[in-house]
Amino acid sequence: MEREVACEPVAVPPGLAALVAGYGWARNRVGESGGAVYRLFGKAGAPDLYLKQGSGHVADDIVDEMARLRWLTGKMPVPRLVGFILTTDGAWLLTTALAGETAWQLLERAPERAEQIVDALVELLQRLHAVPVQSCPFDSDIDRRCWLARRRIDAGLVDESDFDESRAGWSAQQVWDALQCHLPLTPDPVVTHGDFSLDNILVHGGRVTGCIDLGRVGVADRYQDLAILSAGLAEFGEMLPKRLFARYGIEAVDQARIEAHLLLDELF
């Protein structure tokens, strides 16, 4: 699948029209999650932008992301908020683009740099997990996420065709039932990204330039991020997750906790 395709400019609310004028448009095909994501590029003297738009439950997610983006600004390398509008028709979030390519793209293009990439990702993750929990106004612990997951199952919002290969053909209810076998968990709470995947981290010049898709940021078990990152790295070789945990400082990896978080992630 192409990561993005060129498209015509779309209609935006009046409050954003001047901000997006003069740009070329391309629709992003990765991680849209029911909404629409556009890269705006090519305007002389202006930075590239990203526009995220959606209605219904997607609009709620965009509102969540806007609030977390504002809170993380100055604490972590994140995009700059350029504009935000919430209407009866949906939500629109306009941000600057971060420099570089995703960690996934870089691992595909330059596998010989894999260890360097893992080390850079760990450094960013440790920085995020060091943000004081008491300062974070967002709760993303496993009890809340299970409650949200159950609502998504009951509303028919879970994309069962997008499950990982090991759970291909499962129903959302089967994933939920498997998750229950790992609960309850005793969390080790930190400020988490919530979807710390290789497609949500940007790298440029050998360093991480920041993280995107921030709608799930909140206090949660540290394995929430470690599980998703380790699963992504495993697709590029079994040694990379081992390096991740070694560099992070975990000697005895809790595989049951990893499995629980991966099952829960399938439902979002």
Residues annotated catalytic, as ranges:
195
Nearest-5° angle of CA 140, CA 92, CA 73?
50
Which residues make beta-bridge pairs with 6?
26
Cβ–Cβ < 8 Å for 93, 52: yes
Residue count of the chain, please give it: 268
What is the gyration radius of the CA atoms in the chain, in angstroms? 18
Residues in contact with 133: Cβ distance below 8 Å, sequence separation at least 6, in sequence order: 189, 190, 191, 219
44-65: buried (b, 16+ CB within 10 Å) or exposed (e) per residue? Answer: eeeeebbbbbbbeebbebbbbb
CB atoms within 10 A of CB 237: 13
**The pair of three-digit structure tokens given for residue 107, joined into one six-digit string:** 């691992």
Q: What is the largest CA-CA distance in the chain?
A: 55
**The pair of three-digit structure tokens given for residue 242, joined into one six-digit string:** 């081992």
